[in-house]
Structure 1
Amino acid sequence: MRVTAEHLQPPIEAWAQQRPAQPHADPLVGQQRALAAIEQTMRIGGRYAHGYMVTTPGLRVVDVLRALQERHQWVHFERFDWLYLANPDSASEPLCVNVPAGSARDALRDLMELFEAPAEQRAARAEEMREHFPSERFARYLAKVQDKTFDDLPGTELATVIVESDQQTNDFVLCDRVTDASLFGSIRLQSVAGTISSELHLIQPGALLKANGGVLAIDAEELLSQPGLWRKLKYVLRTSLFHWPQPGETANIAAYYQPEPVPIHLKVLLLGDRGIYGQLRELDRDFDNLFPYLADFSAHYPLSHEPLAPYFNYLAYVEREAATLPVAASAIALILKESSRLSDYQTELSLDTIALMQLLREAGAAAQAKGLQEIDHDAVAQVLQQRQQRDGYISELSRRQVLEGQVYIATEGDVIGQVNGLTVVTIGGSEFGEPTRITATVHYGDGDIIDIDRKSELSGSIHTKGVMILSAYIANVFARNDEMRLSATIVFEQSYFEVDGDSASLAELCCLLSALAEAPAAQGLAITGAVDQFGRVQAIGAVNEKIEGHFHLCQARGLNGQQGVIIPAANANQLNLGQDVMQAVAEGKYHVHAIDDVAEALALLTGENQQQLYARIEKRLAELQHCEPELPWYRRIW
């Protein structure tokens, strides 16, 4: 099937016309699956109800957490202010006390007044404080110090405030730079007259204590990269108690200074990719119990089962965060095209916030340089062209080698046993497509197909598997009942690095069949696709890069109307090509063919149908089946 120009990209113009006049900024568009999981996580309490968020590239976690808080009004444990108070019974064991949120400073002021009050007034004052600051721990402390003065307390300090809830504007704490001190806190040291000690003001809380009663989000990769932190966190979650390190556990703790453990009641969300999630489930038997909820955030917005309108709310959020010029209506179609290209599918749009923000900021700078007040189509097109120029140096060098004849690639004419495949090269941070010449020769033998790249150890395991599959196809078609008397060799010419992947197996099969049938293959056509044992063509990756790599080579040499590419039909919904390719296809100077079976590929390459080719191959094999090769002269005289 020949693909028409209008099908080489998604219907971006029709999409752009659906943009509402006043979209509402929303970072949670397209994340219904993850939102349902997080909402369930927040509704269920207990120490075995934490969650894991699978984050995607470009996801701005803080924005997502804030939007979740505003939308779902997270259900928490009751929030408190937490203090450490001087223990009248032990200078080295301060007591952990909580008071209602926002009342820590008032409680300390009243406590100082209690110590200064006459003895006969203290009982009444303590009772008033119990009523004003309802807390079992605070009530116990008042009972302990009711008949004491400040001078009766050890040390020189009365208290230190660990957490003040009224100073937190969010109900979540994000710990994305995870260390022992940043997550669990620390107790610093001081030296007085040569004596190392610690006091209340040297107790420094970490994110765990600051989030107590709320939500703590932790970067999983950072957490696991620090030895011992994961086990320490698990212990806190299992016991709901935070113990400060004991003497000898770390060099940052004063000997025998042991503050009372802090009760912990919070919700933990681990943030990381799916690989870390899989490793935790496989290697830690406690993980599934502690983190039973998976919030799987998506990197793409699927238009196949979601309406387009909400995506404009997401773009409004991206535009707001980019903080640049407003986007004109003329630029929307090109932005949607780039978003679709980032997702690799015509029916999906990207949710990579950072990538789209970068696009808008670059376009905003280009528009400002022209004195414009908004981002128009030309500004976005200029940015995309500049990116291609910045990233295209290596691809230009590769194409120049072909144009100068250092690498031989034919783009016209017909050759037996030679086919142009399509590959993707990733080098130095650049990824681009380029054609590669595949050749095959046949000779009398026992039916083996020799992969020269494999013999020279330049073949990856997946490529080797692809060659084995095409060998099985040929054996199934031509050697089901009789042994083949022809063997073949196949190679990627002028390839000096490892070849991997199965996307060239269709090209290799067509090359072999061309050699077996002695049928010339068109050199103006390049082909990509994987093939199974029954000749069905299967999808491959990076289809746009492969097409554009071949097109730019043909364009540099001059398009003659006979050139084009052959791709799997399964990849047709991934096409998102540049305007120059679309124009050439529309004018009939270049062609894109989408196929389902090897027979279609052979018809395009050789101009003959499969039955004709296979009949010639079978005739040739039958002739060889009943003849023995002539022995060389030295064997005959022996």
Structure 2
Amino acid sequence: MRVAAEQLQPPIDEWAQQRPASPQANPLIGQDRALAAIKQTMRIGGRYAHGYVVTSPGLRVVDVLQELQARHQWIHFERFDWLYLANPDSANEPLCVNVPAGTARAVLEGLMAIFELDPDARASAMKKLTDTFVSERLASYLEKIKDKSLADLPGKELAMVIVESDAQSDDFVLCDRVTETSLFGSIRLQSVEGTISSELHLIQPGALLKANGGVLAIDAEELLMQPGLWRKLKYILRTSLFHWPQPGEANIAAYYQPEPVPIHLKVLLLGDRSIYAQLRELDRDFDNLFPYLADFSSHYPVSQNPLVPYFDYLSYVEREAATLPLARSAIPLVLKYASRLSDYQTELSLDTIALMQLLREAAALAVEQERDCIDHDTILAVLQQRLHRDGYIAELSRRQILEGQVYIETSGSVVGQVNGLTVVSMGGTEFGEPTRITATVHYGDGDIIDIDRKSELSGNIHTKGVMILSAYIANVFARSEEMRLSATIVFEQSYYEVDGDSASLAELCCLLSALAEAPIAQGLAITGAVDQFGRVQAIGAVNEKIEGHFALCQERGFDGKQGVIIPSANLSQLNLEPDVIAAVVAGHYHVYAIDDVAEALTLLTGEKQNHLYARIEKRLDELQHCEPEQPWYKRIW
């Protein structure tokens, strides 16, 4: 089936027309599954009700957390101010006291006022303080110091406020640079006249204490790079108590142990799915502590959801990019780029950072050209500049073909030779290019020899593909008796490992061409995986493969017969560059989509499958009933 030009990219012009006049910025578009999980997580309290958030590439975590805070408050949220107060019974064990959020400074003022009173006159002031700032720990502390003066307290400091909170704000505390100090805090040491000690003011809280009573988000990868931190976090979550580490190194004799802090919070680990899988597999406690999974998507499927909300997401991207306004004429190309990032016509990317980079690059160009907005031509110029910047390696590779150092034909017909399509990843660049596949046949016992495998240049998946096409040929031509023809097949001028099964269709067609002695059109390149029944299956990087072959044909000059053959299953992934689409519209280049090997053979050889197979059967039958000619040296004797 010849693919029409309108099928070579998503319907971007139709999509652009759906843009509302005033979209509302929203970073959580397309995240219904994750939002439902977050909502459920926030409903549940207790030690065993934390969550893991799968973050997608390009997700701006801070923006997402801020939006989540506005939508989903943890119902067990209860913030306090936390203080350490001098312990009248031990200089090295200050007492932990919590008071209502935002009241720590007022409590300290009231406490100082009590110390200024005579012990016999303190009862009224103490009762007023405990009635105003309800706290069991505060009441207990007042009981301890009711008959003490400041001089009776050990040390030089009365109190240290370690956490001050806002009673009305359920802030997500984000710990994205995870160290022991940033997560758990520390107790510093001081040296006074050669004596090492610590004091209240040297206590430094970490993110865990700052989030106490609320929600703490932690970068999982950063956390797991230091296994000791993960074990300590688990212990705190299981016991709901935070014990301060011994200050200093183990060989320093300095003992300072503040009272443990009760912990009551919700923890969200942020990371990719591979880390989640490793934690579930390697840590038996993980599923108990983190039973909730919030999976943020990297794509917005327009086949399942209305398109209009996506423009709210683009409005958020535009706001965060802080660039020139985006003109309506630029919207189709932005949507095309978003679709290309997702690899599917029916999906749009939610990679915020990639889209912001596009807009900022376009804005810089627009300013240079003295434009007051980002329009169609600006976006197009940016995309072309990117192709030029990233295309050096691809250009060098293509030059080898144009100069004849690598032999690739794009015209004429040859028996047992076909142009496959491959993707090369080199130096951070990925590009498609054609590769010549050849096959020869000879008298034998039906074996198909993969030269790449014999020379250890074949990966496991490619070897599997060759075995599948061997099974197909055996199923068609050797059901009842042994084949008398053997074959060899190889990727010519390939000096690196070949892997993947996307060339198995090309290899099969090449082999059948050699068996039937039917020439293959060299202007066509083909890609696709094949199963044992000849059905053609989807492959990856279809756009890069087509564009690589197109670029070579364009350099050599079109003859109207050139094009590519791809699996029909890949039609939904087509999102080709404008020059490819223009060449298809003009009839200079063609894209064909097929479902089985019969269609491929017809396009490549111009003959029907049954005619080719009949010729192969006749050739095999002739060989089956004749003895092979003896070598010349045996005939002499």
Deviation sequence 1:458-513 (CA, Å, 0-9, x none): 11111111111111111111111111111111110011111011111100110000
SS where residue 510 of structure 1 aligns?
A: helix
- Report the Cα distance in structure 1 between the residues aligned to 2:554 and 2:619, rounded to whole angstroms: 39
2:326 is matched with 327
- Report the Cα distance in structure 2 between the residues aligned to 1:631 and 1:160, rounded to whole angstroms: 101
- Report the Cα distance in structure 2 between the residues aligned to 1:211 and 1:620, rounded to whole angstroms: 79
SS where residue 238 of structure 1 aligns?
A: helix
CA distance 1:369–1:310, change in 2 (3 Å):
same
- Report the Cα distance in structure 1 between the residues aligned to 2:18 and 2:172, rounded to whole angstroms: 36
SS where residue 45 of structure 1 aligns?
A: coil
1:409 is matched with 408
1:18 is matched with 18
- Report the Cα distance in structure 2 between the residues aligned to 1:247 and 1:558, rounded to whole angstroms: 75
CA distance 1:329–1:590, change in 2 (3 Å):
same
2:476 is matched with 477
1:362 is matched with 361
Equivalent residues in 2 for 1:379-394, closer than 5 Å: 379-394=378-393
Deviation sequence 1:124-151 (CA, Å, 0-9, x none): 1111111111011111111111110111
2:188 is matched with 188
Q: Is contact 1:86-1:94 (8 Å) kept?
A: yes
1:313 is matched with 312
CA distance 1:32–1:377, change in 2 (3 Å):
same
The 10-residue stretch of structure 1 (42-51 or 253-262) with the greater mean CA deviation from structure 2: 253-262
Equivalent residues in 2 for 1:442-591, closer than 5 Å: 442-591=441-590
Counterpart AA for 1:619: K
Deviation sequence 1:65-120 (CA, Å, 0-9, x none): 10011122332331100111111101111111100000011111111111111222
Q: Is contact 1:414-1:522 (8 Å) kept?
A: yes
In the TM superposition, residue 635 of structure 1 has moved relative to its aligned partner by 3.7
Equivalent residues in 2 for 1:211-250, closer than 5 Å: 211-246=211-246, 250=249
- Report the Cα distance in structure 2 between the residues aligned to 1:169 and 1:563, rounded to whole angstroms: 64
In the TM superposition, residue 167 of structure 1 has moved relative to its aligned partner by 9.7
What is the number of residues matched between the two proteins? 637
In the TM superposition, residue 430 of structure 1 has moved relative to its aligned partner by 0.5
2:605 is matched with 606
2:173 is matched with 173
- Report the Cα distance in structure 2 between the residues aligned to 1:2 and 1:289, rounded to whole angstroms: 55
Deviation sequence 1:42-86 (CA, Å, 0-9, x none): 010001000000001000011001001112233233110011111
2:298 is matched with 299
In the TM superposition, residue 247 of structure 1 has moved relative to its aligned partner by 6.7
- Report the Cα distance in structure 1 between the residues aligned to 2:419 and 2:442, rounded to whole angstroms: 22
Counterpart AA for 1:550: H
SS where residue 228 of structure 1 aligns?
A: helix
In the TM superposition, residue 631 of structure 1 has moved relative to its aligned partner by 2.4
Equivalent residues in 2 for 1:216-295, closer than 5 Å: 216-246=216-246, 250=249, 255-295=254-294
In the TM superposition, residue 170 of structure 1 has moved relative to its aligned partner by 5.5
Q: Is contact 1:188-1:252 (8 Å) kept?
A: no
- Report the Cα distance in structure 1 between the residues aligned to 2:527 and 2:243, rounded to whole angstroms: 61
SS where residue 456 of structure 2 aligns?
A: coil
* 1:32 corresponds to 2:32: yes
In the TM superposition, residue 246 of structure 1 has moved relative to its aligned partner by 3.8
Q: Is contact 1:186-1:253 (8 Å) kept?
A: no
Q: Is contact 1:186-1:252 (8 Å) kept?
A: no
SS where residue 141 of structure 1 aligns?
A: helix
Structure 1 unmatched ranges of 5 or more = none
Q: Quick one: percent identity of the two aligned structures? A: 80
In the TM superposition, residue 15 of structure 1 has moved relative to its aligned partner by 0.5
Q: Is contact 1:186-1:206 (8 Å) kept?
A: yes
1:71 is matched with 71
- Report the Cα distance in structure 2 between the residues aligned to 1:262 and 1:522, rounded to whole angstroms: 77
* 1:155 corresponds to 2:155: yes
- Report the Cα distance in structure 1 between the residues aligned to 2:579 and 2:525, rounded to whole angstroms: 18
Q: Is contact 1:301-1:349 (8 Å) kept?
A: yes
1:634 is matched with 633
Q: Is contact 1:198-1:254 (8 Å) kept?
A: no
- Report the Cα distance in structure 2 between the residues aligned to 1:215 and 1:166, rounded to whole angstroms: 13
Counterpart AA for 2:400: Q
Q: Is contact 2:93-2:256 (8 Å) kept?
A: yes
Counterpart AA for 2:291: P
In the TM superposition, residue 193 of structure 1 has moved relative to its aligned partner by 1.1
- Report the Cα distance in structure 2 between the residues aligned to 1:340 and 1:298, rounded to whole angstroms: 14
Deviation sequence 1:190-237 (CA, Å, 0-9, x none): 111111111111111111001000100000000000131111100000
1:133 is matched with 133
The 10-residue stretch of structure 1 (161-170 or 227-236) with the greater mean CA deviation from structure 2: 161-170
Q: Is contact 1:525-1:563 (8 Å) kept?
A: yes
Q: Is contact 1:432-1:546 (8 Å) kept?
A: yes
In the TM superposition, residue 159 of structure 1 has moved relative to its aligned partner by 1.0
Q: Is contact 1:197-1:254 (8 Å) kept?
A: no
- Report the Cα distance in structure 1 between the residues aligned to 2:74 and 2:240, rounded to whole angstroms: 20
- Report the Cα distance in structure 2 between the residues aligned to 1:620 and 1:359, rounded to whole angstroms: 59
Counterpart AA for 2:102: G
CA distance 1:524–1:364, change in 2 (3 Å):
same
1:105 is matched with 105
Counterpart AA for 1:371: E
Counterpart AA for 1:555: Q
- Report the Cα distance in structure 2 between the residues aligned to 1:254 and 1:126, rounded to whole angstroms: 38
Deviation sequence 1:12-33 (CA, Å, 0-9, x none): 0010011011000000000000
Counterpart AA for 1:381: L
- Report the Cα distance in structure 2 between the residues aligned to 1:344 and 1:264, rounded to whole angstroms: 45
Structure 2 unmatched ranges of 5 or more = none
* 1:51 corresponds to 2:51: yes
SS where residue 566 of structure 1 aligns?
A: strand
In the TM superposition, residue 546 of structure 1 has moved relative to its aligned partner by 0.4
- Report the Cα distance in structure 2 between the residues aligned to 1:16 and 1:582, rounded to whole angstroms: 19
TM-score, length-normalised on structure 2?
Answer: 0.98
Q: Is contact 1:245-1:253 (8 Å) kept?
A: no
Deviation sequence 1:519-567 (CA, Å, 0-9, x none): 0000000000001111100000110000000001000000111000000
Counterpart AA for 2:496: F
In the TM superposition, residue 372 of structure 1 has moved relative to its aligned partner by 1.1
Counterpart AA for 1:475: A
Q: Is contact 2:538-2:567 (8 Å) kept?
A: yes
In the TM superposition, residue 629 of structure 1 has moved relative to its aligned partner by 1.5
Counterpart AA for 1:298: S
Counterpart AA for 1:30: G
Q: Is contact 1:189-1:254 (8 Å) kept?
A: no
In the TM superposition, residue 253 of structure 1 has moved relative to its aligned partner by 8.0
1:427 is matched with 426
TM-score, length-normalised on structure 1?
Answer: 0.98
SS where residue 264 of structure 2 aligns?
A: coil
The 10-residue stretch of structure 1 (451-460 or 158-167) with the greater mean CA deviation from structure 2: 158-167
1:348 is matched with 347
Q: Is contact 2:93-2:259 (8 Å) kept?
A: yes
In the TM superposition, residue 628 of structure 1 has moved relative to its aligned partner by 2.2
Counterpart AA for 2:432: G
- Report the Cα distance in structure 1 between the residues aligned to 2:251 and 2:461, rounded to whole angstroms: 52
SS where residue 165 of structure 1 aligns?
A: coil
The 10-residue stretch of structure 1 (471-480 or 66-75) with the greater mean CA deviation from structure 2: 66-75
CA distance 1:419–1:41, change in 2 (3 Å):
same
